[in-house]
Amino acid sequence: MEKRKLEMDFIDGMNKRFRLSLDNPKEDLDTIQVEAAMDEILANNIFVSNGADLAGFDAARVITTVVEEMEF
């Protein structure tokens, strides 16, 4: 079984990384959509990290993992 996850890395006001991870992003997700979502998160001040607001974004990635269950 294949699993996918979207990771978005932000920088908070204390210059520390804040990672947001979402399971099962849509297959045709592109850079423009991810950047727009990250801009929206920053503009609406949705998350706080280390007591500080998020100040910017650093990186994003889609991770695909193949999971093989073992049966006994």
Q: What is the pLDDT of residues 19-50, one digit of tens each?
A: 999 999 999 999 999 999 999 999 999 999 98
Rg (CA), the chain: 15
Q: What is the pLDDT of residues 48-66, one digit of tens each?
A: 998 899 999 999 999 999 9
Domain ranges of the chain: 2-66
Structure tokens at 30: 């592109």
- The confidence score (pLDDT) of residue 58 equals 95
Predicted model pTM: 0.87
Q: How far is CA 14 from CA 9, 20, 22, 36, 56, in A?
A: 14, 17, 24, 23, 11
Supply the DSSP string of 14-42, one letter for each residue: TS-EEEEEEES--TT--HHHHHHHHHHHH
